[in-house]
Structure 1
């Protein structure tokens, strides 16, 4: 299995050598790490990766290879209890799913507080207590369509709130574009100006100056032309956006190449009172959103990139954020940003045909006056045309 894992990493472009793989095997032989997948992940990344710019690519390849595995099979005498519990999770029919009650925000929070006070032991597979699996609206790995997920990842992405510390990776801005279509679409957003120290030869001016100077060479230079458009990019990362990392990284790389005046920030699901520039330091080096509002002028073009797929509470309800108790709803901050930067669009990597079935997408489209476009070549073309309007 580990040889296949090593070959999988190499196939995904991760720069690791056979010597580093042998170090990993030796560390496993000496029981440096336990048998959980988390322990193995840390050991594998430490031994196999020597360049931190490869961390994100390693994480993607690792997650793809070990998806759904919580322990290394064949390296322990017993099957992990949690693995058995997840495998035995009760599957519901469509009718049973439809019959599950949606409690609503206030009732959901009230009920959770009651369960925390009453519950005295661990539970799994039920429909009431906080635990794993089952159809209870509280816990991890369950099937309730609207609830509070506490830790871990789940196939059900409609949780109202997620109590989990998650780390997101920065987008790779050095991606080599397989196609130039995205850059061609972005070039519709152009306004050239001559600025900066770089200069180019003014051939007509040189000829005219030389003629006027009795044949003595008189070089004339002029500043190089630059795209003077100013772009403020807000990128959603983590959660359901993990499905769109490659597309967003390509877009980000194209923007870095195309726009001389580019400022960017990250957010998760919806914009609140803080954004950040580095996902590794997102908990310690955050930028108040109000500072962004005052730092950049109204001439900046504002571009949001995100799937807008979340619980509607995250947009319209105080405390609805999946990661903290936000004092003001996300809708308030989105409105402030669109007022401060009137030329704004939202680019959505989700297929446009899916939008009518997501309440959160409809809410954000309404907040931005319908200026949401799919993250496709056609959608980019339409979005850049919208931003180019005076």
Structure 2
């Protein structure tokens, strides 16, 4: 369209150059004007006409070419993507939310398979089909008390019981500078326990002093070897709701790397299943079977889970309940296997302890952990280290 306009101006004997026309196109690409024909007229005249005596001729040629046109195609205003996403979300009243039915795991999965087979096209804002911004239990950016989120971003409700989407997590930074030494001080309680009963080493200063007091007869003095013998197996929950707790988890992770000489760590998401990983960027390609972890690291390791335990109860209790894959065995089964292998265990929860009683998944994890869940506070860390220091 604009090339024909350029040729039309040339035909009307206006001395417009290719360079001036390219300047006009660059201005349009930079969104200097909107789709209004009046705005475009001002911009085109400024770019193409360098002699005021030619304004009348340009006006005549412009009027001939754009007669009846009110907007320039392709220059429609673009709304920010986040505005469109917000507009697409269906806002429900408390009464409307209360009417939405929780289907239950089996019915939810059966209904999803049925609608997936029946649906023929894209849907938005509805309450049945797989789509966006509606109150259907299937899709994304919508509202429902439980459902399957398929691609896209969450609407912020965190009520999906399964997510079909590839998500990327980042590794925790073990070099983060701690804002406080309190975490390290609390962790040292476990180190002091590990030193009890450690092998002895020669106390050179004590031996010299004792020999001098003994008229030159050698009197060897021994002292317990001061080394960090405690072994820790750290499992860290990443992604999802744990993004709210990255800072405190990085502080804890950094303190553990400094305080424990024998530290092994793995990542998981929401609940532990058959595989864990060390690098979040390669978590799909390089997974470590949990059975391999159990066989490699002995029962003398202290097992510490770090996670908010906030998830759908299906993820803990049901096969295929994971939001990321179809797990053959329930998360609770794998947690109990780890607890059987490592009697000294604790779960550190960054969520405020006052909220624990309101979340079913936290209640389930606490039962599996035999109430060995502690808040990630100074007092909670102290109690956790005391619990891990007991003989099992």
TM over 0.5, shorter chain: yes
Deviation at 1:223, TM superposition (A): 9.0
Q: Structure 1 stretch 86-95 or stretch 147-156: which is displaced more?
A: 86-95
Deviation at 1:88, TM superposition (A): 4.0
Q: Which residues of 2 match residues 319-358 of structure 1 at below 5 A? A: 319-358=320-359
Q: Residue 385 of structure 1 aligns with which residue?
A: 386
Q: Residue 207 of structure 2 aligns with which residue?
A: 205
Deviation at 1:227, TM superposition (A): 2.2
Distance 1:213 1:277, change over 3 A: farther
Distance 1:83 1:116, change over 3 A: farther
Distance 1:324 1:211, change over 3 A: same
Is the CA contact 1:202–1:222 (under 8 Å) kept in the aligned structure 2?
Answer: no
- Length-normalised TM-score, structure 1: 0.75
Is the CA contact 1:138–1:147 (under 8 Å) kept in the aligned structure 2?
Answer: yes
Is the CA contact 2:231–2:302 (under 8 Å) kept in the aligned structure 1?
Answer: yes
Q: Residue 117 of structure 2 aligns with which residue?
A: 117
Q: Residue 133 of structure 2 aligns with which residue?
A: 133
Deviation at 1:78, TM superposition (A): 1.7
Distance 1:208 1:162 in 2: 70
Stretches of structure 1 lacking an aligned partner (at least 5 in a row): 1-28, 32-74
Q: Structure 1 stretch 285-294 or stretch 78-87: which is displaced more?
A: 78-87
Is the CA contact 1:86–1:132 (under 8 Å) kept in the aligned structure 2?
Answer: no
Distance 1:222 1:388 in 2: 22
Distance 1:84 1:255 in 2: 44
Q: Which residues of 2 match residues 187-266 of structure 1 at below 5 A? A: 187-190=188-191, 191-192=194-195, 202-208=204-210, 225-266=226-267
Q: Which residues of 2 match residues 286-301 of structure 1 at below 5 A? A: 286-301=287-302
Deviation at 1:91, TM superposition (A): 1.0
Distance 1:269 1:285, change over 3 A: same
Q: Residue 268 of structure 1 aligns with which residue?
A: 269
Deviant stretches of 4+, over 3 Å? 80-83, 193-196, 206-215, 218-224
Paired residue secondary structure (2:363): helix
Q: Which residues of 2 match residues 1-390 of structure 1 at below 5 A? A: 77-79=77-79, 83-154=83-154, 155-190=156-191, 191-192=194-195, 202-208=204-210, 225-390=226-391
Cα shift readout 1:109-161 (whole Å, capped 9, x = no counterpart): 11111211121111111111111111111111111010000113310112110
Distance 2:285 2:213 in 1: 63
Distance 1:150 1:97 in 2: 21
Deviation at 1:201, TM superposition (A): 7.1
Task: Please give the root-mean-square deviation of Cα atoms over the aligned residues, in Å.
Answer: 2.8
Deviation at 1:333, TM superposition (A): 0.3
Q: Structure 1 stretch 114-123 or stretch 337-346: which is displaced more?
A: 114-123
Distance 1:204 1:132, change over 3 A: same
Paired residue secondary structure (2:190): coil
Is the CA contact 1:273–1:288 (under 8 Å) kept in the aligned structure 2?
Answer: yes
Cα shift readout 1:312-360 (whole Å, capped 9, x = no counterpart): 1111100000111100000000000001101111110111111111111
Distance 2:351 2:312 in 1: 16
Paired residue secondary structure (1:318): coil
Distance 1:95 1:225, change over 3 A: same
Distance 1:79 1:151 in 2: 22
Higher gyration radius (CA) = 2
Distance 1:194 1:341 in 2: 21
Deviation at 1:207, TM superposition (A): 4.0
Alignment length, in residue pairs? 315
Deviation at 1:187, TM superposition (A): 1.4
Cα shift readout 1:238-285 (whole Å, capped 9, x = no counterpart): 000000000000000111111111111100000000001111111111
Deviation at 1:89, TM superposition (A): 2.1
Is the CA contact 1:234–1:303 (under 8 Å) kept in the aligned structure 2?
Answer: yes
Distance 1:222 1:176, change over 3 A: same
Distance 1:119 1:80, change over 3 A: farther
- Length-normalised TM-score, structure 2: 0.74
Distance 2:222 2:285 in 1: 47
Stretches of structure 2 lacking an aligned partner (at least 5 in a row): 1-26, 30-74
Cα shift readout 1:34-80 (whole Å, capped 9, x = no counterpart): xxxxxxxxxxxxxxxxxxxxxxxxxxxxxxxxxxxxxxxxx994226
